[in-house]
Structure 1
Amino acid sequence: MSVQLRHYFRLLSSTTMKSCRSNKLLANNFIIDFNGFYRNMSTVAEVVRPTDPNLPVEIMDVEEYRRMNGIECFGNSVADPIKTFDTYRWHPNLYRRIKEIGYQTTTPIQAQSLPIVFDKRDIVGIASSGSGKTLSFVLPALMRCMTSKQDLWPRCLILTPSRELTHQIEKVIKSFRFVRSICLYGGVSYEVQEMLLNKANPHIVISTPSRLETIFQKGITKLDNVDYVVVDEADLMLKSGQQSSFAHIMNNLPKKRQTLMFSATWPPSVQKLAEQYLDNYIRVNVSQTQSLSSLTVNKNIEQIVKVVKESEKEDKLLEVMNELVPSVTGFIKTIIFVRSKRTANRLVKFLKKESFPARAFHSSKHQEERDYIIREFRKGVIPILVATDVASRGLDFINVKFVINYDFPSQMEDYIHRIGRTGRYKETGKALTFFTAKNIYHKSNLIELLKETKQTIDKNLIDLTEESEDNIIKDDNNNNNDKDSGYESSGEGNDLDNDEDESSSSEWTSDDESTNKTKKL
Structure 2
Amino acid sequence: MGLQPALLAGLEGLSVGRPTAVQRLAIPALRRGRSALCAAETGSGKTLAYLLPLLDGLLSRPEGPAEAAGPASPRGLVVLPSRELTAQVGAVAEALCRPAGLQVRGLTGGGAAGGLRRQLRAPPPGAAVLLGTPGALREALRRRFLALGRLRWMVLDEADVLMDDTFAEPLEEILAYAPLAVGAPGPAGPGEARTQVVVVGATFPAGLSQTLGKFTDVSRFVTLTTQSLHRLPPHVQQKFVRLKGQDKLPELLQLLRDHPASGGTVLIFCNSASTVNWLGYILDDHKIKHLRLQGQMSAAARAGIFASFQKGDASVLVCTDLASRGLDTSSVQLVVNYDFPDTLQDYLHRVGRVGRVGSKAPGAVVSFVTHRWDVDLVRKIETAARKRTGLPGMDSSISKPPSKAG
TM-score normalised by the chain length of structure 1: 0.66
* Partner residue, 1:190: 113
Q: 1:169 aligns with which of 85, 89, 105?
A: 89
Q: 1:370 aligns with which of 274, 298, 302?
A: 302
**Is residue 290 of structure 2 the alignment partner of residue 358 of structure 1?**
yes
Identity %: 26
Shift of 1:110: 0.3
**How far apart in 1 are the matches of 2:161 and 2:121?**
30
Shift of 1:381: 1.6
* Partners of 2:340 and 2:374 within 8 A in 1: yes
Could you say what secondary structure the match of 2:169 adopts?
A: helix
Report how many residues are paired: 367
AA of the residue aligned to 2:343? Q
Alpha-carbon displacement from aligned partner over 1:317-350 (angstroms, at most 9, x marks no partner): 1222222x232x5x73000000111111111111
**How far apart in 2 are the matches of 1:409 and 1:211?**
29
* Partner residue, 1:133: 46
| CA spacing shift, 1:195–1:353, aligned 2, 3 Å | closer
**How far apart in 1 are the matches of 2:121 and 2:288?**
46
* Partners of 1:408 and 1:435 within 8 A in 2: yes
* Partners of 1:123 and 1:284 within 8 A in 2: yes
**How far apart in 2 are the matches of 1:374 and 1:438?**
31
Q: 2:129 aligns with which of 195, 198, 204?
A: 204
**Is residue 260 of structure 2 the alignment partner of residue 326 of structure 1?**
yes
* Partner residue, 1:335: 267
* Partner residue, 1:58: none
* Partners of 1:407 and 1:486 within 8 A in 2: no
Could you say what secondary structure the match of 2:114 adopts?
A: helix
Tell me how large the CA RMSD over aligned residues is. Answer: 2.4
Considering only CA atoms, is the larger Rg found in Structure 1 or Structure 2?
Answer: 1
AA of the residue aligned to 2:223? R
* Partner residue, 1:484: 401
Could you say what secondary structure the match of 1:326 adopts?
A: coil
Alpha-carbon displacement from aligned partner over 1:114-147 (angstroms, at most 9, x marks no partner): 0000111111111122111000111123223323
Q: Which runs of 5+ in 1 are unaligned?
A: 1-86, 290-294, 455-481, 492-521
* Partners of 1:373 and 1:382 within 8 A in 2: no
Shift of 1:149: 3.2
**How far apart in 1 are the matches of 2:276 and 2:207?**
29
* Partners of 1:408 and 1:486 within 8 A in 2: no
* Partner residue, 1:55: none
The 5-angstrom pairing of residues 71-110 of structure 1 reads 87-88=1-2, 90-110=3-23
* Partner residue, 2:365: 431
**How far apart in 2 are the matches of 1:409 and 1:103?**
33
**How far apart in 1 are the matches of 2:168 and 2:400?**
23
| CA spacing shift, 1:483–1:145, aligned 2, 3 Å | closer
Could you say what secondary structure the match of 1:157 adopts?
A: strand
**How far apart in 2 are the matches of 1:487 and 1:379?**
38
Q: Which moved more, 1:392-401 or 1:276-285?
A: 276-285
Alpha-carbon displacement from aligned partner over 1:151-194 (angstroms, at most 9, x marks no partner): 24411111111111111111001112121121112113321321
* Partners of 2:106 and 2:119 within 8 A in 1: no
* Partners of 1:333 and 1:400 within 8 A in 2: yes
Alpha-carbon displacement from aligned partner over 1:424-446 (angstroms, at most 9, x marks no partner): 11641101111122424424422
Could you say what secondary structure the match of 1:262 adopts?
A: strand
AA of the residue aligned to 2:112? S
TM-score normalised by the chain length of structure 2: 0.84
Shift of 1:272: 4.1
Alpha-carbon displacement from aligned partner over 1:274-319 (angstroms, at most 9, x marks no partner): 5554451121222346xxxxx3433332111111222221122122
Shift of 1:92: 3.0
| CA spacing shift, 1:155–1:408, aligned 2, 3 Å | same
* Partners of 2:321 and 2:346 within 8 A in 1: yes
**Is residue 245 of structure 2 the alignment partner of residue 307 of structure 1?**
no
**How far apart in 2 are the matches of 1:95 and 1:281?**
27
Q: Which runs of 5+ in 2 are unaligned?
A: 67-72, 181-193, 390-398
The 5-angstrom pairing of residues 277-296 of structure 1 reads 277=216, 278-288=218-228, 295-296=230-231
